[in-house]
Amino acid sequence: MLHIVNKSPYERNSLESCLRLATNGSAVLLIEDGIYGATKGGSFEGKVQAAMAGVKIYVLGPDLSARGMADRVIDGVNVVDYGGFVDLVAEHSNCQSWL
Amino acid sequence: MKIGVLVNEGPYTHEASDSAYQFTKAAIEKGHEIYRVFFYHDGVNNSTRLTEPPRDDRNIVSRWSELAKAHSLDLVVCIAAAQRRGIMDENEAKRQGKDAHNLADGFRISGLGQLVEAGIQCDRLVTFGD
């Protein structure tokens, strides 16, 4: 399962809910304002670090760059472009957008 | 792979219309088939040809129309959501006794069944919204 989260964890609790419910081996892609969940230094970083034990975290590069956050990505989070987004959708048997 | 796209947010709101467009474009470039893009809720506002953004801004509506023309995309607008928001094609305007219609090139108006069908026919359905 690919989970797609598009809101900042500092604005909504969708990423928190997603990480709580995502099963081991699934993937989480952070897009739009969701990219703030992949950045270092905030109070949410620890939750993402802990989640990485069970799920793979991806973040959309163009959305990071648009917000000036490209050099603040948490170690171990994978940066993808739109082509990589498409590949993630294709690789997983289904996808869920946390709106 | 057959991919369906669902757009639930209007243009120039947050980023869903842009994300959906960039995703659709990248999927086509990767050789996937975009079976349908369905516009629902405020997403129907992506289909009004009367939008006129500033010249240095992207034109979200015509960008969809151009992509549809280049790749024969099926862009479907939910009729009930469209009627609520004043989006109509020529036939619908006539039927409702309106003096104007505003559906942009490349879009067509249809029912929610088209979304259900896309969900059944597609290998993946990707939702963009608020």
Which CATH number is associated with domain B2-128?
3.40.1260.10
Q: How far is CA A92 from CA A30, A82, B41, B57, in A?
A: 16, 16, 27, 35
The pLDDT of A32-39, averaged and rounded, is 98
With an 8 Å Cβ cutoff, are B26 and A63 in contact? no
Type of residue found at B57? D
**Burial status of residue A84 (CB atoms within 10 A of its CB: 0-12, 13-18, 19 or more):** middle
Distance CA B82, CA A80 (A): 34
| Closest residue to A86, CB basis, from B26, B127, B128 | B26
Domain ranges of chain B: 2-128
Optimal mutation site among A8, A82, A96, interface B, most CBs of chain B within 10 A? A82
User: What pLDDT is attached to residue B5?
Assistant: 98
Q: Hey, are the CB atoms on B15 and A6 less than 8 Å from each other? A: yes
Residue B64: the pLDDT is 98
pLDDT at B28: 98
Tell me the residue type at B33. E
In chain A, the residue whose alpha carbon lies closest to the alpha carbon of B122 is: A94
Q: Give the CA distances from residue B55 to residues A71, B52, B59, in Å, rounded to whole numbers and listed in that order.
A: 31, 8, 8
Domains annotated for chain A, with CATH where assigned, are: 2-98 (3.40.1260.10)
Q: Could you give the CA distance from residue B116 to residue B96 in angstroms, rounded to a whole number? A: 26
For residues A28 and A88, what is the distance between their CA atoms, to the nearest angstrom?
A: 10
The pLDDT, as a whole number, for residue B101 is 98
Average pLDDT of chain A to the nearest whole number: 98
For the whole model, what pTM was predicted?
0.97
Q: Is B78 helix (H, G, I), strand (E, B) or coil?
A: strand
Q: Do A97 and B14 touch (CB under 8 A)?
A: no
Quote the pLDDT of residue A75: 97
Q: Which position has the token pair 């081991």?
A: A24
Check: CB of residue A58 under 8 Å from CB of residue A77.
yes
Q: pLDDT tens digit string along A50-86? A: 999 999 999 999 999 999 999 999 999 999 999 999 9
Residue A90: which residues within 8 A CB-CB, separation 6 or more? B1, B30, B32, B124
Question: What proportion of chain B, given as a percentage, has pLDDT over 90?
Answer: 99
Catalytic residues of B: 78
Which member of B8, B19, B124 has the closest CB to residue A89? Answer: B124
DSSP state of A37: G
CB contact under 8 A, B22 and A6: no
The alpha carbon of residue B2 is apart from the nearest alpha carbon of chain A, in Å, by 9
Identify which of B15, B27, B127 has the shortest CB distance to residue A97: B127
Kindly state the average pLDDT of the residues A8-33: 98
Query: How much is the ipTM here?
Result: 0.97
The structure tokens listed for A77 are: 């989070």
**pLDDT at residue number B34:** 98
CA distance B126 to B9: 13
Contacting B residues, span 6-65, partner chain A, CB-CB under 8 Å: 8, 14-16, 19, 22-23, 25-27, 29-30, 32
**Could you give the angle at which helices A82-91 and B16-29 cross, rounded to 10 degrees?**
80
- pLDDT one-digit tens code per residue, B54-112: 999 999 999 999 999 999 999 999 999 999 999 999 999 999 999 999 999 999 999 99
Percent of chain A with pLDDT over 70: 100
DSSP A93: S
